[in-house]
Amino acid sequence: MTATRNEWFHERGNLARDGWESVVDGSLPGWAHTGIRVAKLSGEGLTLPAGDIERIVVPLAGGVTVELDGAAAAAWDGASSVELTGRASVFDGPTDVLYVGAGGGFTVRGTARIAIAEAPTGQPRPTRYIPAADVPVEVRGAGRDTRQVHNFGTPGALDAAALIVCEVITPGGNWSSHPAHKHDEHIAGHESRLEEIYYFEAAPNREFVAAGVVPDDGVDAFGSFVTYSSRAGEIDTHAVVRTGDIALVPYGYHGPAMAAPEYDLYYLNVMAGPDPERVWLISDDPRQAWLRDTWPAQGPDPRLPYAAAPIEGDER
């Protein structure tokens, strides 16, 4: 029997192009409103020209210098470059990020692993640097549904034209994107239409690292991710996810994202859509919505929030 390929899930490197490890943009069939680029830099630079597109530079591991073109610099304060300090890994708390609005281009250089979130738009916004200390950190859910959300690119934190971007840390054994939900219909005040990208990383759970039980010769860190159909379209993703993998959600219910007990799971969410209002409004799967009522009695997972921790030896 021949396996059926899921066009909405891409393992690390399957979308490599032009020096980038992964590129998601409008050249993919059925994809129109969001994009992401991921790269591991070893001192070289990668250039993204100006156009009708807005972007957020997100250091995943390490720091970078972002060299702005004239339009991007003028839309900020005239400085020609911005230093992003970054962090040791995605599991070491929030990072500083840089937003560059439509009409601005830049080159990013350094020794780091980076992601660039993108959305096509003709509406320019000012270039903005967001320090790590200013990133809103939310501990969402309760019990085994607790996760940590960094809301640096959400409407309350960033004046963007279309992009809605955040990152989520799910500690070992927990579930996130749960209950399963969707945002594929325009229902005023209740649900908005948003494409969504999930970019994943996984690493040994920090409790096992601290206990010294993680082997030195590498591990196969993983989690899992699920999508399923809604009235808007058919989709079926049941994937084991590892560092560098990407899941696309054009429509349908999505969740849970599950962290194996021994591994922490991270994902970067990039969302945008065709609706005139930039807002994240969701509808839970009505068969699962009841679980939110269990959260007040459980309380949040005391392991969160994650900040810097001695995670060493894992492959980024």
Residue 77 gets the label, from left (phi > 0), alpha (psi -120 to 50) or beta, of: alpha
Mean pLDDT of 143-147: 97
The helix or strand, by DSSP H or E, that contains position 208, with its residue range, turns out to be helix 206-211
pLDDT for res 6 = 83
Q: Please, are residues 220 and 242 in contact by the beta-carbon 8 Å criterion? A: yes
pLDDT for res 92 = 96
CATH of the domain at 149: 2.60.120.10
CA 156 from centre of chain = 17
Mean pLDDT of 268-278: 97
Phi, psi of 308 (to 5 degrees): -65, 140
Q: Please, are residues 162 and 193 in contact by the beta-carbon 8 Å criterion? A: no
Percent of the chain with pLDDT over 70: 96
Distances (CA, A) of 67 to 18, 70, 262: 19, 10, 39
What does the pLDDT look like over 208-266, one tens digit per residue? 888 889 998 889 999 999 999 999 999 999 999 999 999 999 999 999 999 999 999 99
pLDDT for res 216 = 83
Q: Residue 180: is its pLDDT beyond 70?
A: yes
The structure tokens listed for 146 are: 């607790």
What does the pLDDT look like over 23-69, one tens digit per residue? 999 999 999 999 999 999 999 999 999 999 999 999 999 999 999 99
Give a yes or no: residue 315 inside a domain: no
* Identity of the residue numbered 293: D
Nearest alpha carbon to residue 54 among 122, 136, 150: 122
Give the count of domains, the chain. Answer: 1
Confidence at 3, pLDDT banded by 50, 70, 90: very low
Summary mean pLDDT of the chain: 94
Give a yes or no: residue 105 inside a domain: yes
Give a yes or no: residue 276 inside a domain: yes
Distances (CA, A) of 312 to 14, 121, 216: 27, 40, 9
Give a yes or no: residue 100 inside a domain: yes
Nearest alpha carbon to residue 250 among 194, 314, 311: 194
Give a yes or no: residue 113 inside a domain: yes
Indicate the length of the chain as a whole number: 316
Mean pLDDT of 2-15: 81
Give a yes or no: residue 313 inside a domain: no
More confidently predicted of 119 and 308: 119
Rounded Cα distance, 247 and 266, in Å:
13
pTM over 0.75: yes
More confidently predicted of 208 and 146: 146
Q: Residues near 227 by Cβ (< 8 Å), separated by ≥ 6?
A: 8, 235, 236, 237, 247, 249, 252, 253, 254, 255
Exposure of 234 by Cβ count < 10 A (0-12 exposed, 13-18 middle, 19+ buried)? Answer: exposed
CA 127 from centre of chain = 20
Rounded Cα distance, 147 and 167, in Å:
10
Give a yes or no: residue 175 inside a domain: yes
Rounded Cα distance, 67 and 182, in Å:
37
What residues make up the domain containing 188?
9-298
More confidently predicted of 143 and 210: 143
Give a yes or no: residue 158 inside a domain: yes
Rounded Cα distance, 135 and 169, in Å:
14
Percent of the chain with pLDDT over 90: 88
Exposure of 302 by Cβ count < 10 A (0-12 exposed, 13-18 middle, 19+ buried)? Answer: exposed
Confidence at 78, pLDDT banded by 50, 70, 90: confident
Confidence at 76, pLDDT banded by 50, 70, 90: confident
